[in-house]
A and B are shown apart, each in its own frame.
Chain A
Amino acid sequence: MTRRRGFTLIEITLGIVLTGVVALMAYGAIAAAADTQERLAADRSDRLADAAWRSLVVDAVRSARSPLDYDAPTLIVQDGAGTGGRPADRLAVVTSSGSPPLSPGTDWALSIGAEGDGMIARASPLGPWQDARVVRGPAALRGMSVEVLGPGGWVTAWASDLELPRALRITFFTEDGEAGVPLVIAVPAGTP
């Protein structure tokens, strides 16, 4: 009988097992990579949504119209409480802000507050006709607390038909409590 050259059964079994182990490790690594990628993307989009929301509020308040232009309060802060004792204040402002999602060329009546289980900003044009805008706040936000710096110090509500407050301090809330650093906005004397 000639001697056959080749692999023994043991060698082949060992080879298959090793291949399987290596394939499993590679699969694990790829799955972990995809997972990390997804988490980073979600993290980044949360941060962008948060920045856009804050800049909407800041731009609107910085471009607030003077109440004297409208013979009516142009910046109104209502104190409110939502579910679970979380603050659910509402801020309404007449603004000439033209930064997205608002657009220039008109004044906007903008109202921001907690609705349902999120926050919503609604803007409707007061001057030349434009589409109304509705913007949903970052998904994690549930409400906000607004304090107003009037002539006598910080108060929790505002509706003057003579003057704008000197500043606002807005604290956003998530399910777990305060979200990030409070937003302080010094209010200019009113847009000419």
Chain B
Amino acid sequence: MKRDGLTLLEVMVALVILGLVVTASLELYGSALRSAANAEAWATATAYAEEAMELAKLDPGSMVARGSERFEDGFQRQVALRALAPLLAEITVTVTFPDGGTFEVRRLRESQ
């Protein structure tokens, strides 16, 4: 007896296609939200770095003496000073993101 209906293969192909479309659209949301959170983290990290660099311009010694600072929102920051030449020093501010990445800002400074 011949039964009308879809074969197992047809049903499976339909389900796979449906699955792909749904996953792709969810992934799109996910990546948009992630990039927004990313932008937020970078803005905060830059603000921490700028703050430290301005304070280091005024008094590098005290910033170096602070060592590694950890903030409430999970960021970490450290300032290092390296003499390059008799009157030239390099200030390096390293900011560590809560999830582990780091970025550095460097600047040359005349040292007395």
Residues of A within 8 A of B (CB): 29, 32-33, 36-37, 40, 43-44, 47, 50-51, 149, 166-167, 180-186
CA distance A72 to B90 in the complex (A): 37
In the complex, the answer to whether A33 meets B36 with C-beta atoms within 8 Å is no
Chain A residues whose CB sits within 8 angstroms of the CB of B43 once the complex forms: 47, 50-51
CA distance A185 to B47 in the complex (A): 12
Chain B residues whose CB sits within 8 angstroms of the CB of A181 once the complex forms: 44, 47-48, 51
CA distance A43 to B32 in the complex (A): 12
* Known A40-B33, A44-B36, A184-B50; 6 more pairs at CB < 8 Å: A33-B29, A43-B40, A47-B39, A47-B40, A167-B54, A181-B51
Chain A residues whose CB sits within 8 angstroms of the CB of B33 once the complex forms: 36, 40
B112 touches A (CB below 8 Å): no
In the complex, the answer to whether B29 meets A182 with C-beta atoms within 8 Å is no
Number of A-B contacts (CB under 8 A): 42
In the complex, the answer to whether A180 meets B47 with C-beta atoms within 8 Å is yes
A90, chain B: closest CB distance, angstroms: 22
Chain B residues whose CB sits within 8 angstroms of the CB of A167 once the complex forms: 54-55, 58
> Could you write out 13 A-B pairs with CB less than 8 Å apart?
A33-B29, A36-B29, A40-B32, A43-B36, A47-B40, A149-B58, A181-B44, A181-B51, A184-B50, A184-B51, A184-B54, A186-B54, A186-B57
- A36's contact among B32, B44, B48, B55, by CB below 8 Å, is which? B32
Chain A residues whose CB sits within 8 angstroms of the CB of B44 once the complex forms: 180-181
Residues of B within 8 A of A (CB): 25, 29, 32-33, 36, 39-40, 43-44, 47-48, 50-51, 54-55, 57-58
In the complex, the answer to whether A29 meets B25 with C-beta atoms within 8 Å is yes
In the complex, the answer to whether B55 meets A184 with C-beta atoms within 8 Å is yes
A23, chain B: closest CB distance, angstroms: 15
CA distance A138 to B104 in the complex (A): 28
A181 closest partner in B (C-beta): B47
B14, chain A: closest CB distance, angstroms: 13
B49 closest partner in A (C-beta): A181
Chain A CB count within 10 A is highest, among B25, B50, B54, for: B54
- Known A29-B25, A40-B36, A47-B40; judge A182-B58 contact (CB<8 A): no
A157, chain B: closest CB distance, angstroms: 19
CA distance A186 to B56 in the complex (A): 9
In the complex, the answer to whether A186 meets B58 with C-beta atoms within 8 Å is yes
CA distance A44 to B29 in the complex (A): 16
CA distance A29 to B58 in the complex (A): 54
